[in-house]
Amino acid sequence: MIQLIVTGGTFDKTYDHINGKLFFEHTHIPKMLERSRCALPIHITPLLLKDSLEFTEEDLQKIENTCISSSAKAIVITHGTDTMTETAKRLAKLKLEKTILLTGAMIPYAFGSSSDGFFNLGCALAFSQTLSHNVYITMQGQYFKWNEVKKNKALGLFEKI
């Protein structure tokens, strides 16, 4: 079984056509899994629906505790890209015997075919089944160990350091 922890981020934002702002309404994960015809045994845990820049210490503790208490050996976390590396570092310090992948999107899934979220989720689910126990970030079809990646804000992508 794969535990899929939903925390929000751009991944789950929706566009308000009236005021032109992004907001959280609900997670898109169940719809995405259904649309992809995913046959994996997945347990979805909707933990938060927040921008990662707004995470509190309590929110980060919830993520940690959910990873610790999960019986799954493979965990995928949808997460905002701005603080993804920081959360990955925190999770790595726990030294869990689990494969944990954090993924997100630069463009909300609700924007349709221009979003990278669908692809990133698929990659995270695939990598969670093949990588050894550690904490990783996966974006743009690549995976990186938690301490070997940074977000290049100028280019809008993640790259190896």
- Predicted structure pTM score: 0.92
Provide the CATH number for the domain around residue 37.
Answer: 3.40.50.1170
Q: What pLDDT, in 10s, does the model give residues 102-158?
A: 999 887 667 767 678 889 999 999 999 999 999 999 999 999 999 999 999 999 899
- Structurally, the chain folds into a number of domains equal to 1
Give the residue, 2 or 14, on which the prediction is more confident. 2
The two tokens of residue 4 are 């899929």
Q: What pLDDT, in 10s, does the model give residues 4-63?
A: 999 988 878 777 778 877 767 778 888 888 988 999 999 999 999 998 999 999 999 999
- Note down the domain range covering 51: 2-160
Segments of 9-146 assigned E as strands: 13-16, 21-24, 42-50, 74-78, 99-103, 134-139, 142-145
